[in-house]
Amino acid sequence: MNNHPNGFHVAFVGNPNCGKTTLFNAVTGSKLKVANWPGVTVEKKEGTVEFENEKLILIDTPGIYSLSTYTIEEKVTRNCILDDDIEVIVNVVDASNLERNLYLTLQLLELGKPIVMALNMMDVVEERGMEIDLHRFPEMLCDIPVVPVSAIKKRGLDILLHAIVHHKEAVTLGEVFSYSDELEDKISKLEVIMGAKYPNHSSARWHAIKLLEDDEEVMSEHPIDVSRIVDKSYAREIIQAKYSYIDGIIEECLFNKDAKAAQTDKVDKILTHPILGVPCFLLIMAVVFLLTFTLGDFIKGYLEILLGFLQDGVSAAFEAAHVAEWLKGLVVDGIIAGVGGILTFLPNIVILFIALAILEDSGYMARVAYVMDGIMGKLGLSGRAFLPMILGFGCTVPAIMATRALETTKDRRKTMLITPFMSCSARLPIYVLISGLFFGKLAPLVSFLMYVLGIVIALLTAFILNIFDKNKNTYNLLIELPEYKRPNMRSIRIYVWNKVKDYLTKAGTTIFIASIIVWFLLNVGTHGFTENASTSFAGFAAQKIAPLLAPCGLNMWEFVVALIAGISAKEVVVTSISVLFSSAAAGGSLLDGIKNVYPMFTAANALALMVFCLLYTPCIATIATIKKESESIKFTLVSIVFQILVAYGVSALVFNLARLFIR
């Protein structure tokens, strides 16, 4: 019997890259109609096929991981399949990646509509020697027809069409598995209320579950009074229940998982463990920074010797040529010491970037976001917000741009506010220099603690903001966890080289210019050139500001100059400190120089200085990016003031605590 003279509608639904389009093309041939989905620029492909005297109108939907409404694709696909016109949903599943694909399947089953599963990529499954128990598998999925196919080899297509035609009336039960008793109780109560108010509603169970997940769209389309049943969002619990059911399916139905996937699973048991995951992350970062220090410092030592030769050589040459004293000072103490000093940190930076590139390329970074999701959720941010934060270890500018991936303006701004607290690579030279001077063997540990402190302050800020947030969000994280792979040398080389290029460009432009400006401000005063920097313009202004920093142990105008100059680029803090104390060092080390001027400057002051550098206003480039991305001058100013206040407060706290222990 054919109720549909014009054909009946079949939607192909599945994860991105599961082969929907390939399958769609294989089934429909070339009879296509391409348009856009109403209101959005997402392509809609429709095709027809005749099979066993039935006319099927097939629709290729955008790939999705979930039936929520965060992305345009999700909205389009969800609206399409909730539409009563759709008579059969064909869930296209990548069989070589079952675990990841089944999450959507479980959601589709809860809809209670007729579903046929196209188990695609069977050629890959066979090639890898994996086996799927095709008897037990459908049993665990409400007995829907499961048809193994290979879209690329055009295998199993007729059987699939046959299943579609013959199962269009076979409504699934909607109850794939049971949630906890508490949830099931709420679900049935909601179903009753739904049934009374909307008797014709076909997906009552799905609807009830969505209500428990606090889904706004469902709520606004079919409003009912749920206040006594839905006291909070149960989204996390519901997601977890689904994943543990999927674990069960994989356990029972999938055999000879290929060696690589099995390995990934084994490693992930530890690295993405809910409790062990975070310490693992910190440990890995600790190893990275230890490497950055030990190996980097080793090479840096040689570069410093080279730089010394260069300075002496140029000095001697200038003297021989009777060049004016001020010009010699500018070139030797301003430019060579400034720019050259920054270049000696290149080994540390290169090692840091190699390590970050390896972690990224191997697939580990995606897991960090996954591990942090639990914590981020409690802070009112999605796990996705941790990705920009990790990028912040490299450079804050791209990290701020990466906040574009977040859904709402509120989330973006929150993340923009806290991302600068992550120690970018420009802050590494500051830690290397200062901790090296004052902490000896403990220097790597102290620097590592700066990184940890940055993360803690960032999370703490998010936490406090969340307390005051009246419309808290809940997030359901679905980050795709790729298989681990051996990092590709080529992509690492490209990544590191790009970063090194950026660093060199910065040394040659911003830092070069800043060094010259700082030198002039330090050598010119109201009476023209001055030998004594404290009577220079910079010295004069900094002396006015310095007393304000007394609580942080930084009532010293030289450091104020360094901090202000550091807003041009954080590395300039290092160059300024070197320049400012070089004459006081009288040929001795930089430490001697500082101690000669400030005998009371101890490791406690040094610690406060590092903390201040970690937290205060980011560099000009970052500020400009925040302005551009937030499109708000007010927000940009607020964030600058906020960061200065945090830097001030925390460094004062650290200083006074440290003073109790360090004399």
Q: Which residues bind Mg ion (CB under 5 A)?
A: 21
Based on CB atoms, which residue is closest to Mg ion, 21 or 602? Answer: 21
State both tokens at 363.
């697939």
Partner from Mg ion, ligand GDP, none binding residue 123, C-beta < 5-8 Å depending on class: ligand GDP
Q: For residue 28, how many other CB atoms are within 10 A of its CB?
A: 19
Based on CB atoms, which residue is closest to Mg ion, 21 or 632? Answer: 21
CA distance 57 to 566: 64
Partner from Mg ion, ligand GDP, none binding residue 241, C-beta < 5-8 Å depending on class: none
Partner from Mg ion, ligand GDP, none binding residue 17, C-beta < 5-8 Å depending on class: ligand GDP
State both tokens at 623.
């500020």
Give the amino acid at 534.
S
Question: With 0-12 CB in 10 A as exposed, 13-18 as middle and 19+ as buried, what is 619?
Answer: buried
Partner from Mg ion, ligand GDP, none binding residue 22, C-beta < 5-8 Å depending on class: ligand GDP
State both tokens at 519.
């030198």
Partner from Mg ion, ligand GDP, none binding residue 570, C-beta < 5-8 Å depending on class: none
Nearest approach, Cβ of residue 17 and ligand GDP (Å): 4
Nearest approach, Cβ of residue 132 and ligand GDP (Å): 14
> Closest residue (Cβ) to ligand GDP?
19
Q: Where are the alpha helices (DSSP H) in 392-536?
A: 396-401, 409-418, 428-439, 443-468, 489-508, 510-523
Beta bridge partners of 50: 55
Under DSSP, the state recorded for 329 is: I
Partner from Mg ion, ligand GDP, none binding residue 424, C-beta < 5-8 Å depending on class: none
Give the amino acid at 598.
Y
Question: With 0-12 CB in 10 A as exposed, 13-18 as middle and 19+ as buried, what is 542?
Answer: buried
- Backbone φ and ψ for 302, nearest 5 degrees, come out as -65, -40
Nearest approach, Cβ of residue 20 and Mg ion (Å): 5
Partner from ligand GDP, Mg ion, none binding residue 9, C-beta < 5-8 Å depending on class: none
Based on CB atoms, which residue is closest to Mg ion, 62 or 618? Answer: 62
Based on CB atoms, which residue is closest to Mg ion, 42 or 171? Answer: 42
Nearest approach, Cβ of residue 101 and Mg ion (Å): 15
Q: Which of 435, 403, 447 is nearest to 631 (CA)?
A: 403
Q: Is 532 helix (H, G, I), strand (E, B) or coil?
A: coil
Partner from Mg ion, ligand GDP, none binding residue 28, C-beta < 5-8 Å depending on class: none
Nearest approach, Cβ of residue 284 and ligand GDP (Å): 32
Sheet holding 115-120, edge to edge: 32-36, 43-51, 54-60, 8-14, 86-94, 115-120, 146-148
Q: Which of 168, 15, 174 is nearest to 85 (CA)?
A: 168
Nearest approach, Cβ of residue 455 and Mg ion (Å): 38
∠ Cα 277 282 285 (to 5°): 125
Nearest approach, Cβ of residue 123 and Mg ion (Å): 18
Based on CB atoms, which residue is closest to ligand GDP, 257 or 499? Answer: 257
State both tokens at 139.
């049993």
- Interaction site with ligand GDP (CB under 6 A): 14, 16-22, 63, 120-121, 123-124, 150-152
CA distance 399 to 392: 5
Please state the length of the chain.
663
Decide: 307 and 336 in contact? Cβ < 8 Å.
Answer: yes
Q: Which residue has the tokens 């063997």?
A: 441
Q: What are the distances in angstroms from CA 634 to CA 242, 413, 468?
A: 44, 12, 20
Based on CB atoms, which residue is closest to ligand GDP, 73 or 133? Answer: 73
Nearest approach, Cβ of residue 42 and ligand GDP (Å): 12
Nearest approach, Cβ of residue 22 and ligand GDP (Å): 3
Nearest approach, Cβ of residue 40 and Mg ion (Å): 15
> Closest residue (Cβ) to Mg ion?
21
Based on CB atoms, which residue is closest to Mg ion, 21 or 535? Answer: 21
Partner from Mg ion, ligand GDP, none binding residue 454, C-beta < 5-8 Å depending on class: none
Q: Which of 512, 202, 472, 193 is nearest to 340 (CA)?
A: 512
Partner from Mg ion, ligand GDP, none binding residue 18, C-beta < 5-8 Å depending on class: ligand GDP
Based on CB atoms, which residue is closest to ligand GDP, 81 or 514? Answer: 81
Based on CB atoms, which residue is closest to ligand GDP, 121 or 608? Answer: 121
Partner from ligand GDP, Mg ion, none binding residue 151, C-beta < 5-8 Å depending on class: ligand GDP
Based on CB atoms, which residue is closest to ligand GDP, 10 or 424? Answer: 10
CA distance 443 to 435: 5
Radius of gyration, alpha carbons of the chain: 31
Based on CB atoms, which residue is closest to Mg ion, 45 or 257? Answer: 45
Nearest approach, Cβ of residue 17 and Mg ion (Å): 8
Based on CB atoms, which residue is closest to ligand GDP, 153 or 493? Answer: 153
Computed from CA positions of residues 522, 523, 524, 526, in that sequence, does the dihedral angle turn out positive or negative? positive
Nearest approach, Cβ of residue 82 and ligand GDP (Å): 20
CA distance 140 to 105: 12
Based on CB atoms, which residue is closest to Mg ion, 14 or 436? Answer: 14
Q: Which of 568, 450, 498 is nearest to 350 (CA)?
A: 498
Partner from Mg ion, ligand GDP, none binding residue 124, C-beta < 5-8 Å depending on class: ligand GDP
Q: Which residue has the tokens 């980011």?
A: 618
Partner from Mg ion, ligand GDP, none binding residue 120, C-beta < 5-8 Å depending on class: ligand GDP
Nearest approach, Cβ of residue 96 and ligand GDP (Å): 8
Under DSSP, the state recorded for 177 is: S
